[in-house]
Structure 1
Amino acid sequence: MSQTLLVTGGAGFVGSALIESLLTEFPDAAIVSLDNYFTGTLENHVNDPRVTYVEGSTVEIAKIWADRGLPSPSIVFHLGEYSRIVQSFEDHDLTWDYNLLGTKEVVKFSAAAGAKLIYAGSSSKFGNDGEDENLNPYAWTKAKNIEYIKNYSNWFGLDYAITYFYNVYGPGQITNGKYATVIGIFQRQYLKGEPLTVVSPGTQTRDFTHIDDIVRGIVLVARGGAGDGYLLGTGREWPLAEVAGLFGTEHVLVPALPGERVRGQADLTKAAGLGWTPENRLDRYIADFVAANPR
């Protein structure tokens, strides 16, 4: 293999889809996934001899790499963090450990290896003129990591590019349990014949982005991106009640949850400069899902 690529969180929703893409985009590369399997699953493993799956914590990334005698990676795709807003209040310690302690070690490891770091930031950073980054433990830790990566690059040298994902949906999304995604929850409830539960007031908006577009964007940023500001979304705001209505079934409002933002919409300017544009639409995705699963 001509190079090694590292994907932290490679057994998760976005990470596993990224690995599938990297196998095609980098045909001469070996790929290593480092995952603690907090939300990642064995079912997400890609069956290819070029992919090696390692179970472990990013806090111990340097030791894990050295113990296994793995070659230094040329690109590190860092997706392996805690990534839920409301749940981060309950999981405060996990959020701190996975996002702050883990990412500190990934940054140091990437710089020592001379690797380019592709970091998945949180789109919550941009809400309410930046004030939303303080709404919850998750958003705050992600915002601090952006500051840390930039400072580390200035202090010690680090090649990096930072992406931001906007409400990813599509095949492989989590549909059950406390870490399920919005569209995953709606699909599960639809299939069970249950009313869709929309968090009050239902007018809050999100920018929903298909997994295929996200992965394509990550690869483009890895190839040609530098620095901060690669927002991967569609640029369209969807009110959550309107999204539920696309399923053509009833929905009910449930109490508001702590730490959630009012709006979400991506500015695609910098990602578009790399030739990236979203190709998938949420309404078409839901229409196809409903058509394939008539009630």
Structure 2
Amino acid sequence: MENNTIVVTGGAGFVGSHLIAALARDYPRSRIVSVDNYFTGRRDVHVDAPNVTYLEDSTANINKRWANESFGTPDIVFHLGEYARIPQSFDEPDRVWEYNAWGTKEVVKFCLDNGARLVYAGSSSKFGNDGQDEHLNPYAWTKAKNGELIRNYGNWYGLDYVITYFYNVYGPGQIEDGRYATAIGIFQRQYRDGEPLTIVEPGTQSRDFTHIDDTVAGLLRCAEHGKGDGYLIGAGREWQMLEVAKLFGCEHVMIPAKPGERARGEADNSKVRALGWEPKVALEDYVADFVASARRG
């Protein structure tokens, strides 16, 4: 990816900002352009590097916006800039449609028109319950349909693509407050504030938690060597939410179940491992380091 023009949608988000930092470090002769509408993105995570540029705009406008810029032809597009929360998607279906359906359609067209390689961040929610979980909520459904769109464009028009899937990414920079906060982010904030950890009922639902560094490393590996669909970037271990709370060693309380949540989540990461990737950060080690640091103040 050296000497390329690389676009990252959602580049001011949690995963996107870490990805841009890695790209700026590893490919200093490439031009990196972030396109983010700052719905959940933040300006304080911008990467201060001479080869990084930030554009504030919706992915739905990417084709028009790019035509008014002077970046040249894009070579690779990391498409991370979508709506990415399950329970909240029931309350904001129009926003989910705009960001995940319309926006992604425009990104796919952008890649096809420019001959750019598309690296898409799909949703692991589609794999639960023998594939039936993609119908549980507006978020999962639109993400699953985007995967279909991309695969079809590959077959119909020769789109060059690789589809990856994230599994409960956590680590520095994650959202800790508000309705878009991540599970580990919420637990960390509650622990620091001396509050009991809130666990969504029944607590036996499981997730595969994957550190942000491992996620970015897997994403780059797939971008460089992957082809087609099915790259699950997950640690490969199921954690029940009650088990995760116990790692923090403090009190917890149960809160009512949320709509659209799946029961299980665990990555079959064999396809990414075949590219030479291995997860390096274990959740229990990360939490132990966090707790020790919080106790030191």
* TM-score interval (norm. to shorter): over 0.9
**Residue identity matched to 2:95:** L
Q: CA–CA distance in 1 between the matches of 2:101 and 2:28?
A: 33
> In the TM superposition, what is the alpha-carbon distance from 1:232 to its structure 2 partner?
0.6
Q: Secondary structure at the match of 2:221?
A: helix
Structure 1 residue 150 corresponds to structure 2 residue 175: no
Q: Residues 91-106 of structure 1: matches in 2 within 5 Å? A: 91-106=92-107
Deviations 1:233-278 (A, max 9, x none): 1110000011011101000000000000000000011101101110
Deviations 1:6-26 (A, max 9, x none): 000000000000001111222
> In the TM superposition, what is the alpha-carbon distance from 1:27 to its structure 2 partner?
2.4
Deviations 1:153-179 (A, max 9, x none): 111120000000000000000001100
TM-score, length basis structure 2 = 0.98
**Residue identity matched to 2:121:** A
Q: Which residue does 1:67 correspond to in 2? A: 68
> In the TM superposition, what is the alpha-carbon distance from 1:28 to its structure 2 partner?
1.3
**Residue identity matched to 2:44:** E
Q: Residues 113-128 of structure 1: matches in 2 within 5 Å? A: 113-128=114-129
Structure 1 residue 205 corresponds to structure 2 residue 196: no
RMSD across aligned positions (CA) = 0.9
Q: Residues 19-34 of structure 1: matches in 2 within 5 Å? A: 19-34=20-35
Q: Which residue does 1:3 correspond to in 2? A: 4
Structure 1 residue 288 corresponds to structure 2 residue 274: no
Q: CA–CA distance in 2 between the matches of 1:237 and 1:156?
A: 38
Q: Residues 172-187 of structure 1: matches in 2 within 5 Å? A: 172-187=173-188
Deviations 1:4-57 (A, max 9, x none): 100000000000000011112222101000000000010110011110000001
Q: CA–CA distance in 1 between the matches of 2:31 and 2:53?
A: 8
Query: Which blocks of at least 5 consecutive residues in structure 2 are unaligned?
Result: none
Q: Which residue does 2:224 correspond to in 1? A: 223
Question: Does the 8 Å contact 2:134/2:141 carry over to 1?
Answer: yes
Q: CA–CA distance in 1 between the matches of 2:28 and 2:69?
A: 23
Q: CA–CA distance in 1 between the matches of 2:241 and 2:283?
A: 12
Q: Which residue does 1:47 correspond to in 2? A: 48
**Residue identity matched to 2:220:** V
Identity of aligned residues (%): 64
**Residue identity matched to 2:146:** N
Q: CA–CA distance in 2 between the matches of 1:7 and 1:159?
A: 16
Q: CA–CA distance in 2 between the matches of 1:268 and 1:2?
A: 30
TM-score, length basis structure 1 = 0.99
Q: CA–CA distance in 2 between the matches of 1:57 and 1:168?
A: 23
> In the TM superposition, what is the alpha-carbon distance from 1:227 to its structure 2 partner?
0.1
Q: CA–CA distance in 1 between the matches of 2:70 and 2:278?
A: 39
Q: Which residue does 2:167 correspond to in 1? A: 166
List structure 1 runs of 4+ shifted beyond 6 angstroms.
none
**Residue identity matched to 2:250:** T
Q: Which residue does 1:16 correspond to in 2? A: 17
> In the TM superposition, what is the alpha-carbon distance from 1:2 to its structure 2 partner?
2.5
> In the TM superposition, what is the alpha-carbon distance from 1:68 to its structure 2 partner?
1.2
Q: Residues 269-284 of structure 1: matches in 2 within 5 Å? A: 269-284=270-285
Q: Which residue does 2:248 correspond to in 1? A: 247
Question: Does the 8 Å contact 2:28/2:51 carry over to 1?
Answer: no
Q: Secondary structure at the match of 2:295?
A: coil
Q: Secondary structure at the match of 2:34?
A: strand
Deviations 1:54-74 (A, max 9, x none): 000111101100111221111
